């Protein structure tokens, strides 16, 4: 039975041609925001053309991307969950964590802003207002970078939202969570890029922004081949080097300007990291 | 409602202009699901014949398991196939995860019990004396099997349609083992999930309509074969 499955598989591989040239494929584990905003649709083909590597982009939350890195199931990570990244680096499976770009998180809510967050001084005050008035809040709840940031903001506000009736957990990506928040006329936290890219279909507006605690920082991390011999080290290294190279940084600087009026990301390669 | 019409219009636009990406995803979906259905047919019909025509202890338990497998949730299959195919998993050496082959493998796991289960029922429904009759007329064993399959072809083609329906509609397994990689492992269902997530409802509706049309087309062909010569 097993042999027959393998035989039919072998047949399938032959039929499908060059799908599995392992040496030339790089597994990039990244966040949904980089895919949903469309940035990777520009950067990945550019990299593939330049180097001949094929990139397999697996768009999951930062938490899952880091988990893939921990098991050596990815070659390079592009993630935005600084605290989880630092823990990951301290544990040893990562190499060469480098700053790539940033944008910021924004607190979104219904156009009418029933909780009056626009008047709140800063993100912590805004989150306290949400909890005090029991306004519906939609959480990613998927261990993504955005979710990690959201938990940090609740902590800063001195509120534990877990289990409250107004706290909805979707467990899904940013795009899907924005749709839910929009339909439920609820508040949510999003990275600015995904929000701008999806704004046309959403009944949501920015109700709090600009606070220093809302910075959203993306790093690239290579996976250490010394820990996981099966990792495509050359491919991961090439992709990381590409992301911080001048041409890629230029794409990041201008990406989305034409469609959304303002860029979605700000390039940061080579800047001091803190 | 307006959104639905917009979606239908978009679907026709995408088809009329032969949008290369949508066309690629559609053809890829067709290729993967047909290969998976074919593999499942070979495995499922073989297993179905074995289960229907032989007696052995525990046979009923095996058939119960197969019948349970007909409702195997695709996400469960996706999870287990993913774990087997991980680089550091038992089949990691084949480097199949996030390739089209991985999707075919997972879909084969989903469809094989469906085809096996219906095949067993179809073959058991044949008159029990038929086998003896065929053999007594001097047929060899392979000839006998072939005649039985021919005799049961109507329900067996229904089995193929059910298997195909199971794999073309599933999204959980394809997403997990394929990774929804643009230009490589993106199928109609995973693309629909992604476009919905991005809020591109018009494109999502368009992809859904294409998926329905594709399912209809394949089933129409299979039904045509099934009904070609009406049994007396």
Domain that holds residue B192: 2-227
Which range (A50-59, A108-117, A194-203, B214-223) has the least confidence? A194-203
Is residue A155 less than 8 Å (CB to CB) from chain B? no
Yes or no, beta carbons of A56 and B184 under 8 Å apart: yes
Q: Can you give the pLDDT at residue A74? A: 92
Q: Is residue B109 part of a domain?
A: yes
Yes or no, beta carbons of A56 and B43 under 8 Å apart: no
Among A12, A54, A175, beta carbon nearest to B198: A175
Q: What is the mean pLDDT of chain A?
A: 86
Structure token pair of residue B17: 């202009």
Yes or no, beta carbons of B86 and A71 under 8 Å apart: yes
Yes or no, beta carbons of A201 and B201 under 8 Å apart: yes
Yes or no, beta carbons of A202 and B35 under 8 Å apart: no
Most confident of A63-67, A77-81, B40-44, B146-150: B40-44
A233 and A184: one domain?
no
Q: Is residue A84 part of a domain?
A: yes
Chain B residues touching residue A202 (CB < 8 angstroms): 199
Tell me the per-residue pLDDT of A194-240, one tens digit each, with 9 for 90 and over: 898 888 888 899 999 888 889 889 999 999 999 888 888 899 999 99
Structure token pair of residue B178: 């394929």
Q: Can you give the pLDDT at residue B84? A: 93
Is residue A71 less than 8 Å (CB to CB) from chain B? yes
A224 and A247: one domain?
yes
d(CA A143, CA A91): 18
Chain B residues touching residue A12 (CB < 8 angstroms): 35, 39, 100-101, 104-105
Nearest CA in chain B to A194: B198
Is residue A180 less than 8 Å (CB to CB) from chain B? no
Give the pLDDT mean for A14-34.
Answer: 68
Residue A167 has pLDDT above 90, yes or no: yes
Yes or no, beta carbons of A230 and B101 under 8 Å apart: no
A91 and A114: one domain?
no
Yes or no, beta carbons of B88 and A72 under 8 Å apart: yes
Is residue A223 less than 8 Å (CB to CB) from chain B? no
Name the DSSP letter for residue A71. T
Chain B residues touching residue A188 (CB < 8 angstroms): none
Query: B153-169 vs B201-227: helix axis angle to the nearest 10?
Result: 170
Among the three residues A171, A186, A214, which one is the final residue of a domain in this structure?
A214
Q: Can you give the pLDDT at residue B12? A: 82
A40 and A138: one domain?
no
User: CB burial class (10 A; 0-12, 13-18, 19+) of residue A17?
Assistant: exposed
Give how far B179 is from chain A: nearest CA, Å. Answer: 6
Predicted confidence pLDDT, tens digits, chain B (232 residues)? 677 787 788 778 887 887 888 899 999 999 999 999 999 999 999 999 999 999 999 999 999 999 999 999 999 999 999 999 988 889 988 889 889 999 999 999 999 999 999 999 999 999 988 988 998 999 898 999 999 999 999 999 999 999 999 999 999 999 999 988 888 899 999 999 888 877 777 888 889 999 999 999 999 999 998 888 665 5
Q: Can you give the pLDDT at residue A79? A: 93
Yes or no, beta carbons of A5 and B99 under 8 Å apart: no
d(CA B201, CA B211): 15
Chain B residues touching residue A36 (CB < 8 angstroms): 197-198
Residue A21 has pLDDT above 50, yes or no: no
Among B42, B99, B181, beta carbon nearest to A20: B99
Q: Is residue B232 part of a domain?
A: no
Q: Is residue A112 part of a domain?
A: yes
Q: How many structural domains compose chain B?
A: 1
d(CA A267, CA A241): 14
Nearest CA in chain B to A182: B199
Yes or no, beta carbons of B198 and A197 under 8 Å apart: yes
Give the pLDDT mean for A10-15.
Answer: 47
Give how far A146 is from chain B: nearest CA, Å. Answer: 16
What is the CATH number for B130? Answer: 1.10.3720.10
d(CA B12, CA B33): 23
Q: Are B209 and B122 in contact (CB under 8 A)?
A: no
| Per-residue pLDDT band at A1 (split at 50, 70, 90) | very low
Q: Is residue B49 part of a domain?
A: yes
A64 and A44: one domain?
yes
C-alpha distance from residue A95 to each of A79, A138, A225, A237, B109 (Å) = 14, 34, 9, 9, 38
ipTM above 0.90, yes or no: no
| Per-residue pLDDT band at A13 (split at 50, 70, 90) | very low
Q: Can you give the pLDDT at residue A274? A: 59
A130 and A257: one domain?
no
Structure token pair of residue A224: 């250490």
Q: Is residue A63 part of a domain?
A: yes
d(CA B110, CA B36): 9
d(CA B38, CA B155): 16
- Tally C-beta pairs within 8 A across A and B: 92
Question: How far is CA A30 from its chain centroid?
Answer: 6
Which range (A21-25, A180-184, B21-25, B141-145) has the least confidence? A21-25
A97 and A108: one domain?
no
Instruction: Tell me what percent of the residues of chain A surpass a pLDDT of 90.
Output: 44
Q: Are A107 and A124 in contact (CB under 8 A)?
A: no
Domain that holds residue A259: 23-102+217-267
The interface residues of chain A toward chain B in range 2-31, judged by CB-CB distance below 8 A, are 4-5, 8-9, 12-13, 15-16, 19-20, 22, 27
Sorted by sequence, the CB contacts under 8 Å of residue A52 that are 6+ apart come out as A24
Q: How many structural domains compose chain A?
A: 2
Q: Is residue A227 part of a domain?
A: yes
Q: Is residue A249 part of a domain?
A: yes
Query: Dihedrals φ, ψ of A169, to 5°?
Result: -115, 120
Q: Can you give the pLDDT at residue A23? A: 58
Sorted by sequence, the CB contacts under 8 Å of residue B228 that are 6+ apart come out as none
Give all strands (DSSP E) within chain A, no chain letters: 25-30, 54-59, 76-79, 94-110, 137-139, 167-169, 187-191, 204-208, 215-223, 266-267
Chain B interface with A: residues with Cβ < 8 Å: 31, 35, 39, 42-43, 86-88, 92, 94-101, 104-105, 108, 179-182, 184, 194, 196-201
Q: Is residue A141 part of a domain?
A: yes
Q: Can you give the pLDDT at residue A187? A: 95
Chain B residues touching residue A228 (CB < 8 angstroms): 87-88
Residue in A8, A38, A108, A199 to test binding to B, most B beta-carbons within 10 Å: A8
Among A16, A56, A197, beta carbon nearest to B181: A56
Among B86, B95, B197, beta carbon nearest to A36: B197
Q: Is residue A272 part of a domain?
A: no
Sorted by sequence, the CB contacts under 8 Å of residue B193 that are 6+ apart come out as B171, B175, B180
What is the CATH number for A251? Answer: 3.40.190.10
Which range (A73-77, A167-171, B8-12, B30-34) has the least confidence? B8-12
């Amino acid at each position: 039975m097993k042999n027959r499955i393998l035989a039919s598989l072998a047949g399938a591989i032959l039929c499908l041609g060059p799908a599995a040239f392992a040496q030339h494929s790089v597994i990039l584990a990244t966040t949904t925001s980089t895919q949903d905003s469309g940035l990777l649709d520009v950067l990945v083909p550019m990299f593939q053309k330049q180097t001949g590597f094929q990139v397999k982009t697996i768009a999951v939350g930062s938490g899952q991307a880091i988990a893939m890195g921990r098991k050596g199931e990815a070659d390079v990570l592009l993630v935005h969950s600084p605290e989880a990244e630092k823990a990951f680096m301290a544990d040893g499976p990562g190499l060469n964590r480098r700053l790539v770009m940033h944008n910021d998180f924004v607190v979104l809510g219904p156009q009418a802003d029933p909780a009056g967050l626009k008047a709140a001084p800063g993100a912590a005050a805004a989150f306290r207002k949400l909890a005090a008035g029991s306004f519906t809040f939609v959480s990613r709840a998927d261990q993504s970078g955005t979710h990690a940031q959201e938990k940090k903001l609740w902590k800063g506000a001195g509120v534990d939202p877990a289990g409250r009736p107004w706290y909805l957990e979707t467990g899904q990506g940013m795009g899907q969570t924005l749709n839910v928040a929009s339909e439920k006329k609820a508040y949510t936290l999003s990275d600015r890029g995904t929000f701008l890219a999806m704004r046309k279909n959403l009944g949501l507006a920015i109700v709090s922004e600009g606070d220093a605690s809302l910075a959203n920082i993306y790093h690239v991390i290579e996976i250490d081949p010394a820990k996981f011999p099966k990792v495509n080290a050359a491919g991961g290294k090439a992709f990381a080097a590409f992301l911080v190279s001048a041409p890629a940084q230029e794409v990041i600087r201008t990406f989305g300007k034409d469609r959304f009026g303002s860029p979605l990301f700000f390039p940061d390669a080579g800047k001091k990291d803190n | 409602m307006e959104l639905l019409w917009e979606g239908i219009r978009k679907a026709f636009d995408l088809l009329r202009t032969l949008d290369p990406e949508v066309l690629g995803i559609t053809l890829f979906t067709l290729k993967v699901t047909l290969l998976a259905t074919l593999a499942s047919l070979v495995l499922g019909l073989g297993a179905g014949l074995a289960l229907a025509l032989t007696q052995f202890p525990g046979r009923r338990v095996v058939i119960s398991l197969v019948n349970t497998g007909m409702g195997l949730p695709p996400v469960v299959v996706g999870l287990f196939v993913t774990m087997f195919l991980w680089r550091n998993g038992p089949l990691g050496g084949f480097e199949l995860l996030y390739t089209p082959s991985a999707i075919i493998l997972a879909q084969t796991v989903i469809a094989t019990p469906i085809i096996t289960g219906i095949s067993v029922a179809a073959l058991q429904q044949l008159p029990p004396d038929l086998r003896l009759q065929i053999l007594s007329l001097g047929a060899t064993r392979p000839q006998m099997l072939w005649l039985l399959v021919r005799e049961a072809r109507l329900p067996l083609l229904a089995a193929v349609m059910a298997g195909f329906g199971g794999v073309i509609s599933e999204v959980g397994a394809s997403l997990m083992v394929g990774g929804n990689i643009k230009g490589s492992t993106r199928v109609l269902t995973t693309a629909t999930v992604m476009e919905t997530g991005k809020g591109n409802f018009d494109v999502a509706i368009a992809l859904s309509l294409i998926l329905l049309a594709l399912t209809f087309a394949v089933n129409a062909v299979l039904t045509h074969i099934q009904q070609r010569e009406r049994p007396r």
